[in-house]
């Protein structure tokens, strides 16, 4: 659905309403000059995980538009990385900002980044 997201070539491990796991393999293409996974690749991975967890439970009468990302990097990211996001979709009658968090962990289980995505949830235009 989102061509840019394909640039990091990740794998959706689990996808269900309110939950998503996405795996990113450590490859040269996603690395930076410090030989770790690039900060923006991590942000992209976190955005994807939050978006999947959200849209899995979103009514077809609602839409979600990303309005912001907050990313906190906690450790150099190396090796395979797993992003995990959980969320609940609130009752929507008008526009609301809904924050969804993804935690990205390395193969040792250490957190390398926490991504908070801010999604503007609203009824689709034909519903208003």
Q: Which residues pair with 104 in a beta bridge?
A: 83, 113
Encode pLDDT of 32-78 as tens digits: 899 999 999 999 999 999 999 998 888 888 899 999 999 999 999 99
Residue 123 sits at the vertex; the CA angle it makes with 118 and 124, to the nearest 5 degrees, is: 105
Query: How many residues are present in the chain?
Result: 128
Sequence-ordered list of residues with C-beta below 8 angstroms from that of 29, at least 6 positions apart, any chain = 8, 9
Q: Report the predicted TM-score, pTM, of the whole model to 2 decimal places.
A: 0.90
Domain residues for the domain of 54 are 3-127
Q: What is the average per-residue pLDDT within 12-18?
A: 94
Q: Based on the structure, what is the number of domains in the chain?
A: 1
Give the DSSP H or E segment for 125: none
| CATH classification at residue 110 | 3.10.129.10
């Amino acid at each position: 659905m989102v061509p840019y997201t394909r640039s990091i070539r990740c794998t959706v491990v689990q996808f269900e309403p309110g939950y998503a796991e996405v795996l990113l393999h450590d490859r040269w293409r996603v690395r930076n000059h410090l030989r770790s996974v690039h900060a923006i690749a991590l942000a992209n991975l976190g955005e994807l995980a939050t978006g999947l967890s959200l849209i899995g439970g979103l009514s077809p009468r609602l839409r979600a538009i990303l309005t912001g990302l907050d990313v906190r990097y906690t450790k150099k990211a190396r090796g395979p990385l797993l992003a995990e996001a959980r969320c609940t979709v609130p009752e929507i009658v008008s526009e609301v900002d809904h924050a969804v968090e993804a935690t990205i962990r390395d193969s040792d289980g250490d957190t390398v980044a926490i991504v908070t995505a801010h999604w503007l949830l609203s009824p689709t235009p034909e519903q208003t």
